[in-house]
Structure 1
Amino acid sequence: MPNTISHPSFKSIEQAPLVETSFSTTINNISQFDSLAGSHLGVTAWSPSVANLDDTKGTFDVRLSLIAQALEQSKNDVFIAPEYYWNQHGDELTPFSTEQKDELVEQLRILSEGQQDRLVIPGTIVWSDNDNKGVVHNSVFVFLNGEQLQSSNGLDRYDKLDLDYESKTFPALKWGEGVQAGFDINFKDTNVRIEICSDNGIDDKYKSSPASEIDLNLVLSSKIGDPFKNTKIGGSTVVCDGEGWSRHIEKLPPEPKPEDPMKLLREYLPEELRNKFMPKQRLKELLLAHVPREILQQHKPEWLPPPTGAQGV
């Protein structure tokens, strides 16, 4: 039985069979990031403006054809598409039935057979779980060489955990959260983490491994802000957003904090005075008496009198 939704922005949908399509078009918004820091993998991010894709609600044949073309018109070890790719039409979100989801996952598995040694992460699928009272999930499925992959801790799909945005934006749907905020796999000796939008900002305790063990972070999003870089130092994050953009960010070492000059200057005081509290003026007088002039010139030049002969302005 199809899920019936009372909110006017949504429609119940019947299962739609796959329709063969023969048209071809140039696919825009393909970004190819080569030899990324931390992994040396290349990532293709196809980031169409999902809400503006033109097809029939409740079916997936047109978007399946588009994603097949995007795969053929790109390269690299990894292919990703954005959140809501399969289900958003304008401001509406139309979930698939469980049967439609199963048929789409099978078609994507078959599609990945022709992508030799290429990790395919074809956006998120929003679907109604007929086996769980119609609860709606926002899910990622991952494919390699015609197989649907499991995560490092044995999950065969990844359901988004943080559904605050979905619950507020699409309140007519009965949303069901996942069990963790990410999907970790090892691909070509690279630890890869896949995250859906706001799950990117969730603490590591809700993920299967710490960020410090991740080489490559892939974020499938819609309207995300500045993403967290959930990788080791020197790792890479690639964001693929359904608003029509993608980007790559490398996690750099934190900048060292500048040394406190007063702490350095105190080292010139007698040992019994170094850590003793004293008023600012008294401390300044002691430092002027004990610290060599060249050190003061470097760290506190404003304390020193102007050179002989200097004229004020």
Structure 2
Amino acid sequence: MTGIITEERRQFLTKLGTGIVGAALIPRTISYGQNLAGRQYLTVKEVIDIIIEDIPGAPFERTVDQLRSGTVEQKVTGIVCTMFPTISVIEQAVQIGANMIVAHETLYYNHQDETDWLEEDEVFQYKKALIEKHQIAIWRFHDYWHRRKPDGIAEGNLRKLGWENYYNPLTPRLLKLPEPKPLKVLLAHIKKQFGISMVRLVGDLSQPCQSIYLAFGAIDSKMIIAAIQEYQPDLILSGETREWETVERVRDGLLLGKNTALMVLGHELSEAAGMAFAAEWIQKKIPSTAVSYIASEDPFQFV
């Protein structure tokens, strides 16, 4: 694909405004990123274009991956990848001179980042003022990163767990280990690799586990229960789930002699490694701009 922006493409991007910023729409042999490689500063729009140019189906007609603050025209001094764009992450980005945050999850506490209901909230007001003061552009990188082949979050996690060789593109959410291991052995490995002391578990620690269904982040319970029915996995490795739905289905299944256990890591922890990997991935695509990963960190304490 050529890096030349035609008038037709320019009009298309103008209509999109600060929403979906798409990759070039015509075939090209030189990537958009390669065409801009010599530039000292890229604009936010150019950074987004480069990030999504290799994502299948991009640009999407409908997506939550929108620019939530800043402008598409501003020059990028540095990029920070994170899970949740918390006040702490924003402050750390300012300290290192980065003015663009690529965040996997929402800025303002709801999936669509609607703010009408928050206008009188003092925390919202502070966060918004902080972003405006330092002119931070915050772009959500959720749908595109999950649509990558393989899923960017999954690949980051599998790398962290040392399980990337077990990935099967034909069943991307289902992992099969070379041999079964007791659940307590898998639990110890997962805790060690993620650097955590505790997880929430529904299951028998002595049961053998070989097949693992990956449900990082927040996956709809109907989807997980359907996967239990189809694959009968030994373990569901989950981010978060509604306790009265998937949890109770797993518990009832165990009472009937089924072998599917559930391990709940928490939303932030279950996808953070995927955003650390995103920082490495973006840095390779945009070598002229410093790209860092700042952890938003697990919000929970175990007391």
Q: State whether TM-score is above 0.5.
A: no
Tell me which protein shows more strand as a share of its residues.
1
TM-score, scaled to structure 1: 0.29
Q: Which has the higher contact order (CA 8 A, sep 6+)?
A: 2
With the length of structure 2 as denominator, give the TM-score of the two structures. 0.30
